[in-house]
Amino acid sequence: MPAVSSAHPARHHGAIVIGGGPAGLMAAEMLAAQGISVNIYDAMPSVGRKFLMAGKGGMNITHSEAADAFLRRYGTRADRIGPLLDIFDADKLRAWVHALGIDTFVGSSGRVFPTDMKAAPLLRAWLHRLRESGVRLHVRHRWIGFSESVDGWHVLRFATRDGEIEVAARAVVLALGGGSWARLGSDGAWMPMLAARGVDVAPLRPANCGFDIEWSEVFRSQHAGEPVKSVAIGVTTVDGETLHRQGEFVISESGIEGSLVYALSAPIRDLIDTNGFATITLDLAPGRSAEDVAAEIGRPRGSRSVSSHLQSRLGITGVKARILREILTKEAMHDPVALAAAIKALPLRLVRARPIDEVISTAGGVRFEAMDARLMLTAMPGVFCAGEMLDWEAPTGGYLLTACFASGRVAGLGAAEYLQA
């Protein structure tokens, strides 16, 4: 596409979607279904890169749990995500996947996956259908901001390999992602651009993230990468609520990460933001009561070592036993009362969340209060927002993708309505 002057930008008489992730592609699908021509612009050489990365370990599309429990996963933004899910919930998403010719199944955890566990076939089928409907893709076009609007046309600037260009449209859907995994296209660079236009945005923060612990060098070198299974984590939130989750996590070079940690990352992050650190408790024997653990530890161990006693009485061995030795003093390890208490509630001090670029997703972004029910910016009529760039968060398990699809659908329908009006 040739470069054009700002006085005469190339005009798209349909709609522009910026961002080729799930939210952007879904918005484009909704617009095309209304007979509106759609041009998608994406900074990367191909679209859906973060979607494909998320599917490398098994493409978790959504979750099968009941609607009320599903909605609670969105925490303080459940009231804003609820109306989006009313339009496109987990069941509708699953039916949509089936219509692409991809079968799904429900795993033992309740998570929903394509039968082949892969993201690529789904994305290929979707892109084929979009192209068949007339949607045009423009890759290696990085959005770098707005020029002044001209007679109700939003003029957008893009950096390309051939230089800067400008294009204009009356309706624009922004689906630019959050701030994690910048190498896949979502770098949060849009934040100051929208703020400069009077859009209310919340700072981006890590979500679904690991946390740093000041491990000893010996512990780090010996156990980084090891899973810690059949444990529970407890945390008291900033508001004084006590939360417990059971599962497993992984020892990392810098601290802890993994599904159990991600499930509690929002309250842990908020504690660190408030206090400068967070203390969580680790239950190494979640299937046994404190009284039972104390009774077993209190049994005479004779000439056996503490390690042998822990293994024979409670099955605590390997990395679990090493965590105890990492945190407790030598005296506490030999004190049955202190040891039993630590097994049920071992305190771990977390000092910081991992950097945003390493995390699975981000919280913060365009506040819902800055948009109407169609996800149109009140400060910029005709500009809609969708996906992870909105100010919400959710745990892993299919909840992130479901809300991205749903918000893309609502924004696309809203943009179509705006154009038709």
DSSP letter for each residue of 99-147: HTT--EEE-TTSEEEETT--SHHHHHHHHHHHHHTT-EEE-S-EEEEE-
Q: What span, in angstroms and rounded, lies between the C-alpha atoms of 310 and 342?
A: 12
* Per-residue confidence band for 150, with pLDDT thresholds at 50, 70 and 90: confident
| Percent above pLDDT 70 for the chain | 98
Q: What pLDDT is attached to residue 226?
A: 96
Q: What pLDDT is attached to residue 246?
A: 95
* Per-residue confidence band for 2, with pLDDT thresholds at 50, 70 and 90: very low
**Mean pLDDT of the chain, nearest integer:** 94
Q: Is the pLDDT of residue 182 over 90?
A: no
Q: Summarize the confidence of residues 133-160 as an average pLDDT.
A: 93
Instruction: At 86, give phi and psi (nearest 5°).
Output: -60, -30
Q: What span, in angstroms and rounded, lies between the C-alpha atoms of 168 and 146?
A: 10
Q: Summarize the confidence of residues 296-322 as an average pLDDT.
A: 92
Q: Is the pLDDT of residue 6 over 80?
A: no
Map tokens 């919930």 to a residue: 89
Strands 227-236 and 111-114: unpaired
* Per-residue confidence band for 11, with pLDDT thresholds at 50, 70 and 90: confident
Q: Is the pLDDT of residue 88 over 80?
A: yes
Q: Summarize the confidence of residues 235-246 as an average pLDDT.
A: 95
Q: Summarize the confidence of residues 66-86 as an average pLDDT.
A: 96
Strands 383-385 and 10-18: unpaired
User: What angle is formed at CA 347 by the lines to CA 344 and CA 349, rounded to 5 degrees?
Assistant: 155
pTM: 0.91
Q: Summarize the confidence of residues 341-366 as an average pLDDT.
A: 95
397 CB contacts (<8 Å, ≥6 apart)? 60, 63, 73, 109, 110, 111
Q: What pLDDT is attached to residue 303?
A: 85
Q: What span, in angstroms and rounded, lies between the C-alpha atoms of 419 and 242?
A: 48
Q: Which of 204, 146, 186 is nearest to 383 (CA)?
A: 146
- The neighbour count for residue 92, using CB atoms within 10 Å, is 17
- State how far the alpha carbon of 55 is from the alpha carbons of 17, 59, 144, 401, in Å: 23, 4, 29, 11
Q: What pLDDT is attached to residue 136?
A: 96
Q: Is the pLDDT of residue 381 over 70?
A: yes
Instruction: At 177, give phi and psi (nearest 5°).
Output: 75, 180
The span from the first CA to the last CA of the chain, in angstroms, equals 30
Query: What are the chain's domains?
Result: 10-207+358-420 (3.50.50.60), 211-353 (no CATH)
Q: What span, in angstroms and rounded, lies between the C-alpha atoms of 91 and 42?
A: 29
Tokens representing 145? 């901001």
Q: What pLDDT is attached to residue 8?
A: 61
Q: Summarize the confidence of residues 186-192 as an average pLDDT.
A: 92
Cα torsion through 364, 368, 374, 378, rounded to 10: -110
177 CB contacts (<8 Å, ≥6 apart)? 19, 21, 50, 185, 186, 188, 387, 388, 389
